[in-house]
């Protein structure tokens, strides 16, 4: 396997937290990203986490460390997956972003609330069926 390659692990939602704990214990000590994809036609939202194994003080651009991509699918109508914030505190904002933009609940998160939209915002803008019901704003083009 090339040093640039990512290992990929697909996990059932019920095994997600257990798997993430094992990966953390196995030396994957940094989350470089946590995001989601709405697969409306399949009725799932896929949560994707990118993990890196870095030694303390090591440059994160180092391509020789272990890289693992973890994917899990949650039901689209009630998306929920355990928070991994207790394992990697820096994932806090990533989970909040996925909560806000896709509507995925993260039980165990210390402060799960919207981060990209305001608290009264209706819906989740990155869902495939999201319709923006707000009134259209008129575009103003400055004169020269």
Q: 83: Cβ–Cβ under 8 A, 6 or more apart, which residues?
A: 91, 95, 106, 107, 108, 109, 110, 112
Report the pLDDT value the prediction gives residue 64, as an integer from 0 to 100: 65
- pTM greater than the 0.75 cutoff: yes
SS3 per-residue string spanning 57-86: CCCCCCCCCCEEEEEEEEECCCCECCCCCC
- Give the pLDDT confidence score for residue 2 in this predicted structure: 53
Q: What is the pLDDT of residue 140?
A: 86
Domain 7-79's class? alpha beta
pLDDT for the residue 45:
98
| 24 close to 87: Cβ distance less than 8 angstroms | yes
Each residue's pLDDT tens digit in the chain (144 positions)? 455 689 999 999 999 999 999 999 999 999 999 999 999 999 999 999 999 988 766 666 665 678 999 999 999 999 999 999 999 999 999 999 999 999 999 999 999 999 999 999 999 999 999 998 878 888 888 887
Q: What's residue 58's pLDDT?
A: 65
Domain ranges of the chain: 7-79
Establish how many alpha carbons lie within 13 A of residue 133's alpha carbon, considering only the half-sphere containing its beta carbon: 6
Q: Determine contact, residues 63/4, Cβ cutoff 8 Å.
A: yes
Residue with tokens 């820096």: 90
Q: Which residues contact 40 (CB under 8 A, 6 or more apart)?
A: 76, 127, 128, 129
- The residue written with tokens 């004169």 in the block is 143
Predicted local distance difference test score (pLDDT) of residue 138: 85
Question: What does the pLDDT read at residue 1?
Answer: 47
Rounded to whole angstroms, the Cα distance separating 119 from 64 reads 42
pLDDT of residue 133: 81
pLDDT number for residue 97: 98
Show the tokens assigned to 117: 């939209």
């Amino acid at each position: 396997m090339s040093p640039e390659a990512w290992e990929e692990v697909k996990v059932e939602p019920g095994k997600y937290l257990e798997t993430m704990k094992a990966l953390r214990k196995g030396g994957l000590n940094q989350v470089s990203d946590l995001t989601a994809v709405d697969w409306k036609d399949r009725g799932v939202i896929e949560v994707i986490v990118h993990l890196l194994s870095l030694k303390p003080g090591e440059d994160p651009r180092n391509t020789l460390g272990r890289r693992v991509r973890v994917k899990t699918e949650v039901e689209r109508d009630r998306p929920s997956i355990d928070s991994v914030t207790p394992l990697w505190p820096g994932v806090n904002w990533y989970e909040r972003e996925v909560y806000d933009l896709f509507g995925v609940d993260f039980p165990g998160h210390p402060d799960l609330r919207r981060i990209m939209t305001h608290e009264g915002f209706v819906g989740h803008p990155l869902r495939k069926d999201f319709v923006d019901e707000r009134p259209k704003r008129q575009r103003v083009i400055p004169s020269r």
